[in-house]
Structure 1
Amino acid sequence: MKAASAPQGKPSADVPGGVAVELRGITKRFPGVVANHDIDITVRRGTVHALVGENGAGKSTLMKILYGMQRPDEGTIAIDGETVELHSPADAISRGVGMVHQHFMLADNFTVLENVTLGAEKLYGIGAKARAKIMEISDAYGLGVRPDALVEDLGVADRQRVEILKVLYRGARTLILDEPTAVLVPQEVDALFDNLRELKSEGLTVIFISHKLGEVLSVADDITVIRRGTTVASVEPSQTTPKQLAELMVGSELPSPETRESTVTDIPMLTVDGLTLCAVDADGMRRAVLDDIALTIRKGEVLGIAGVEGNGQAELVEAIMGMRTPDGGTITLDGRDISKLPTRTRREDGIGYIPEDRHRHGLLLEAPLWENRILGHVTEAPNSRRGLLDPSGARRDTERIVAEYDVRTPGIEVTAASLSGGNQQKLIIGREMSHHPKLLIAAHPTRGVDVGAQTQIWDQIREARREGLAVLLISADLDELIGLSDTLRVMYRGRLVADADPATITPEELGSAMTGAAAGHLETAEGPEEDR
């Protein structure tokens, strides 16, 4: 795979051994919290430099400073040996710094072409020349981007590829990737890392933020550990282990998602039969995005759905939640047909929901934490009393969730936007588990959270499962999917195509099945549900 050439007029970064980025004494304060304190980092040109730390450690704030989105209160920034002041992302881009955020910065109602060219019209215009450049970069990096696709129709993985293309389109030489592998299967991760190694050999510098410490050790040339807003260690991958990194980050060992004891009963909690959902594609043709889906989840069972993003998992979740109206089939919860019930009634009947995109479907970012605690549970205690909202009850319970789930925040009156991504996720999980659901739909429950928070989330799911909770688990973390699931099914092009045994399947075999390739330890999902 060959790298696309940078736009003309951009300076080259092909001199090996120099310093691409140097941060010295960076300090950033917000009301009630010091996000960064006296941070020092040196990033060598033509390397992959990993930045690791627990949720709320200050990694994203630091990178927003480097990208010009935040101004440091103290400290200096040097890019390619020159001290600079970055007042905006435009300043950073002009210096060859690009960032792909953990939560994407795309306009849903725009096409890919419009999103990529927005603000960069002077490079290649907005027409045929821009389209040709997008396709050139897409082909060069294997991104598979369709310029005319509407962003709102894209899955999370495709959105990430669009963001990467945006940065490359602008000629970035230092590329910040915030949790880039969160939505990728193992084969895609390997391909990304091979590409990064090739790109760094061409002089590209990558700053890689991740909670997956095994991945960090496999791809990074240098690692900086941040804890509680300051740098605590700089280590070489060859001289450390995932266990040692985890201890530097949070003072504990790497957690394991493995669930050994079985709590599966013979009592069905969710039954989906013949579920079909059609949509109109870009060519105006009607096609099935869900094709005759049949599944049963029993009390005390975790059913994992494996699949590459965009194969119908999101539509399945939305159909069960009542966010989409299926074209056929039935959905039964605890013996009650809920196929035609509104989302709120399904929630009141006992469905908990952890959405795959917490910003779009899980939070009101500009609302305080206690108001976010109410979302999805407006009519239920402690948020409501005698048919009226009970703000004091919601506030008290938010305080409890913050304490029990270790949500790092100066208080419950701050906005959800002020929390790190992992702490936002802990707030959502605390909210959903607080209502003791019968069925929990968990889409990527530990995406973007650190090893300590992973342990807590997995423990909460295991404990609720022991008490009879049924769980529909969708995750791009195949170790998590295999470790937590009692039953595994593979989804491909809107159909459940194979069953897998979590006790014997490997992540590599599961990843192959997800891409449509044959794999061992799999059985074709054919015949009636009760026969499987």
Structure 2
Amino acid sequence: MTEEQHVVLEMRDIVKQFGEFRANDGINLVVKQGQIHALLGENGAGKSTLMNQLSGLLQPTSGDILINGEKVKIDSPKKAAELGIGMVHQHFMLIDAFTVTENIILGDEPVKNGFVLDKQSAVENILQLSKQYGLEVDPKALVEDISVGMQQRVEILKTLYRGADILIFDEPTAVLTPQEIDELMVILKNLANEGKSVILITHKLDEIRAVADQVTVIRRGQSIDTFPVAGVSSQELADIMVGRSVSFKTVKRDATPSDVVLDVQDLTVKDARGVEVVKNLDLQVRRGEVLGIAGIDGNGQSELISAITGLIRTESGKITLNGKDITNLPPRKITESGVGHVPEDRQRFGLELEMTLAENIALQTYYQAPNSKNGVLDYEAINRHARELIEKFDVRTVNELVNAGALSGGNQQKAIIARELDRHAELIIAAQPTRGLDVGAIEYIHQQLINQRDEDKAVLLVSFELDEILNVADRIAVISHGEITGVVDAKATDKQELGLLMAGMSLKEARAQLVGGKASE
């Protein structure tokens, strides 16, 4: 920190109330010029609510916001932009059919001769900004044709084009590949070095330690502490965030697998384009074990799960559950056969966001007693059962009548898990179950999966996170280009071996290379 750095933003005693619920309860935040200031907190702690007030999407119930020492009223995103505040949202706000330039200048188009769109000057401005901040883009490319990481660069350039000096990033790495995450970390540092102030909303502790100067911890709507990041361990950050000691390692006894529950034989699945994405795949999951599927995104994992759960049809092969053929059965028949499914995208496939939490919890069983009597929904029974599961699975909400869309990501995920585990399914399929969640929620969900295993259920875990696979799974099947390249014992493998299998090597080839590499050292 240098003497030149001064306070550019203060948020004093910010309260944001929704009815009787206080999402923010007297939060204080001080951000200095040229700093990366992290906001750390559990899902639902109030981080995004706080930043939505700074960006003009919400207004505080009480409290003051000061920019460069002067009190301001930010009653719209336009006002925020005028004050030099820009927000890069987790879910990008871009128009796919527009070019990069058209998206960046939308609503702030340059003109010449009073009315003629001056697109060339916009392109030149964008190229200058992209060079200055290390944000290389093609101004003429269509947004639908560029990568997710490149789309994020476009969102950043949108804020810089409008003159933002304070940039807010809301969970910016949730949808990025590891390489894109590394590139974003460099971009954030470049922004700070150029004198911009960056507010980073995240729950990823390693990213905070990699780039942030200061961190403010928010817990249940209150600011707990603010301190320098240098010298703080991930364990210390996690414990302060959650308010208790958090374990990064799931405690579990050795698995005692028995009968085969799920048996996938010679399965072939095509995608919407008619391309084979699952190819003659064999897979077995046994009672009393967690089988993890590891692989790079886009190698057939999603189609495999969709085929097992009846969401897409198989081309050939056979899927059996406890010896019963469930191949190409309707999804309801498959769930009634004993399959619980936690989908990879909770908002698109797991919940109806405009329906209440109670209605979402009843989605799989609304037509059965006691939720329905003589074809008529019994809302008293539905709501009562929802309250029981909310308490049992620690879903943090005002009540069961809140719309699912109003819950934090972690609590949305807990609601889905409550619904699926409550049905006592024989097979639990969990696809990316902790994507976008904080360490406390991750710890909780991992333990729920282990509990299911210990209750003699079969658990199929699909994840792009190797740490998660190695931590939770008992056996690991690696998928590459729609084929299983190897199945290994989780205790007898490591990231290096899994990485070679994910690249398409057979288990024999991977182990030969690893042995050869060690011999040459």
Shift of 1:142: 7.2
Aligned to 2:516: none
1:441 alignment partner, one of 422, 429, 433: 429
Q: Deviations over 1:161-193 (max 9, x none)?
A: 534532323425433333333455655544432
1:318 alignment partner, one of 283, 301, 306: 306
Aligned to 2:23: 35
Larger radius of gyration: 2
Aligned to 1:233: 225
CA–CA distance in structure 1, aligned partners of residues 282 and 123 of structure 2: 41
Aligned to 1:278: 270
Aligned to 1:331: 319
1:265 alignment partner, one of 236, 257, 265: 257
| 1:100-139 superposed matches below 5 A | 100-102=88-90, 110-111=96-97, 113=99, 117=103, 120=106, 122-123=108-109
CA–CA distance in structure 1, aligned partners of residues 121 and 286 of structure 2: 55
Mapped pair 1:50 → 2:38 = yes
Aligned to 2:154: 165
Shift of 1:141: 4.5
CA–CA distance in structure 2, aligned partners of residues 375 and 106 of structure 1: 32
Q: Per the alignment, do residues 448 and 520 of structure 1 end up closer, same or farther by CA in structure 2, a change over 3 Å counting?
A: farther
CA–CA distance in structure 2, aligned partners of residues 439 and 142 of structure 1: 46
SS of residue paired to 1:192: helix
Moved more, 33-42 or 75-84: 75-84
Aligned to 1:244: 236
- Asked if the contact 1:184/1:476 (under 8 Å) is kept, the reply is no
- Asked if the contact 1:46/1:203 (under 8 Å) is kept, the reply is yes
SS of residue paired to 1:503: helix
Aligned to 1:12: none
Mapped pair 1:223 → 2:212 = no
Q: Could you state the TM-score of these two structures normalised by the residue count of structure 2?
A: 0.83
Shift of 1:484: 0.3
Q: Per the alignment, do residues 400 and 511 of structure 1 end up closer, same or farther by CA in structure 2, a change over 3 Å counting?
A: farther
Aligned to 2:449: 461
Gaps of 5+ in 2: 111-116, 513-521
- Asked if the contact 1:265/1:298 (under 8 Å) is kept, the reply is yes
SS of residue paired to 2:275: strand
1:180 alignment partner, one of 172, 183, 196: 172
Q: Per the alignment, do residues 230 and 434 of structure 1 end up closer, same or farther by CA in structure 2, a change over 3 Å counting?
A: same
RMSD: 3.8
Aligned to 2:463: 475
Aligned to 2:414: 426
- Asked if the contact 1:500/1:523 (under 8 Å) is kept, the reply is no
Aligned to 2:113: none
Q: How many residues align?
A: 500
Mapped pair 1:292 → 2:280 = yes
| 1:87-98 superposed matches below 5 A | 87-98=75-86
- Asked if the contact 2:134/2:187 (under 8 Å) is kept, the reply is no
Shift of 1:355: 1.8
The amino acid across from 1:256 in the alignment is F
Gaps of 5+ in 1: 1-14, 525-532
SS of residue paired to 1:238: coil
Shift of 1:303: 1.8
1:367 alignment partner, one of 355, 363, 366: 355
Shift of 1:358: 1.5
Q: Deviations over 1:440-469 (max 9, x none)?
A: 121222233333333322221111101122
The amino acid across from 1:464 in the alignment is Q
1:412 alignment partner, one of 393, 400, 403: 400
Aligned to 2:517: none
CA–CA distance in structure 1, aligned partners of residues 472 and 509 of structure 2: 17
